[in-house]
Amino acid sequence: MTVLVTGGAGYIGSHICVELLEQGYQVIVADSLINSSEEAIERVEKITGKRIFFYQANLCHKQDVAEIFDEEDIDAVIHVAGHRSIAQSVIDPLEYYYNDIAGTLVLCNAMRKHNVRKMIFSSSAMVYGDLEVDDMPLREKSPCGKVSSPYGRIKVALEQMMRDIHHADPEWNIVLLRYFNAIGAHPSGLIGDYPKMTPNNLVPYIGEVAVGRQKSVGIFGDDYPTPDGTGIRDYIHVFDVAKGHVAALKLMEQEPAVRTYNLGTGHGYSVFDVIHTYEKVCGVPIPYEIRQKRPGDIAVLYADPSKAERELGWKAEKTLEEMCADSYRWKSNSNGYKF
């Protein structure tokens, strides 16, 4: 089976490629390299000893996408490509809407033209919006609250678009995977999170402090309605997220439908929990300072992952300690990628 992974040179995409190759799938990657490096593809090939067919392609460019579908025989698409900074989506919504919506439209059109109707879409826990602590854990059927960022609203819109596509043509077989907070790295230390800009996510930033590239972590708000006042998230190892995609591909052997799953662990950890676990696992002190809340941020978010366990036969296995240890190995052993 041949799978096209859009965004396959990026953080989550590269880990998905490792898992696909190890499970015997043929992998084609389409990536614009706007926020990733082709070196990640070489590292995936090194880890697995298998080859990836790589296209440098911007999904908003019809010609780039047409070329891939004209040349390759694709059975399914895992669509990970997209902008990823919630804060940046607040600052530059037009760029975010254009890139993610236009890119997905072009991709879906090419799939329809070439009769490829299996799609796994990277959605996000952000679609649940700003719900109350009492609403946790989030189930797939949980109401979507007030979505607090353009990033989240784009995911909501694209999920809805996928449902409409299936409604009009029930042959489309679609899995919407709502990622919670993917962190960690491949245990080899060869691939990991390496955005071109200084990271603005918690764990990559803690890693920068741990290896001495930044002085201290800014904690974005300590007066949220949580036990220690800092934001709570469901951190999940990127390796477990990758495995969820292979489970979803297997599920698509069943009759076409639109199926939605949370990919989370079911445990919520605060910013302090993560800082202290990182310090413990790595033996490096992590200085921090309290800063202003970040626009678009919400207080608490963690999953009920039981539907994925029941229907996909998938369950996150790695602990927060393992996530922090793998993140630190990646940060300390590598100089990242060349851009």
Q: Which residues are catalytic?
A: 151
Residue 84 touches ligand UD1, criterion: CB under 6 A: yes
Output the smallest distance, CB 293 to ligand UD1, in A: 7
Whole-angstrom Cα distance, residue 67 to residue 175? 25
3-state class percentages of the chain: helix first, strand second, coil last, to nearest 5:
40, 20, 40
The tokens describing 63, both together, are 């010609």
Transcribe 211-249 into DSSP letters: TTSSS-EEEE-S-SSSTTSS-EE-EEEHHHHHHHHHHHH
- Residues numbered 207 to 236 that lie near ligand UD1 (CB under 6 A) are 217-220, 231, 233
Q: Is 119 in a helix, a strand, or coil?
A: strand
Output the smallest distance, CB 69 to ligand UD1, in A: 27
When binding is defined by CB under 6 A, the residue of 32, 181, 226, 277 that contacts ligand UD1 is 181
Nearer Cβ to ligand UD1 (58/230): 230
The tokens describing 274, both together, are 């993560």
On the 0-12 / 13-18 / 19+ scale of CB atoms within 10 A, 168 is: exposed
Q: Are strands 288-291 and 235-237 parallel, antiparallel or unpaired?
A: unpaired
Query: Contact 271/231 with Cβ under 8 angstroms?
Result: yes
Nearer Cβ to ligand UD1 (25/221): 221
The tokens describing 57, both together, are 């392609």
Nearer Cβ to ligand UD1 (26/181): 181
Nearer Cβ to ligand UD1 (30/147): 147
- Residues numbered 16 to 45 that lie near ligand UD1 (CB under 6 A) are none
When binding is defined by CB under 6 A, the residue of 120, 126, 209, 325 that contacts ligand UD1 is 126
Output the smallest distance, CB 86 to ligand UD1, in A: 5
Residue 271 touches ligand UD1, criterion: CB under 6 A: yes
Residue 244 touches ligand UD1, criterion: CB under 6 A: no
Helix (H) or strand (E) holding 162: helix 150-168
When binding is defined by CB under 6 A, the residue of 45, 208, 297, 309 that contacts ligand UD1 is 297
Q: Is 184 in a helix, a strand, or coil?
A: coil
Residue 194 touches ligand UD1, criterion: CB under 6 A: no
Nearer Cβ to ligand UD1 (170/295): 295
Output the smallest distance, CB 97 to ligand UD1, in A: 16
List of residues 6+ apart from 255 with CB closer than 8 A? 173
Residue 325 touches ligand UD1, criterion: CB under 6 A: no
Residue 79 touches ligand UD1, criterion: CB under 6 A: no
Residues interacting with ligand UD1, by CB under 6 A? 84-86, 124-126, 179-181, 201-202, 205, 217-220, 231, 233, 271, 294, 297, 301
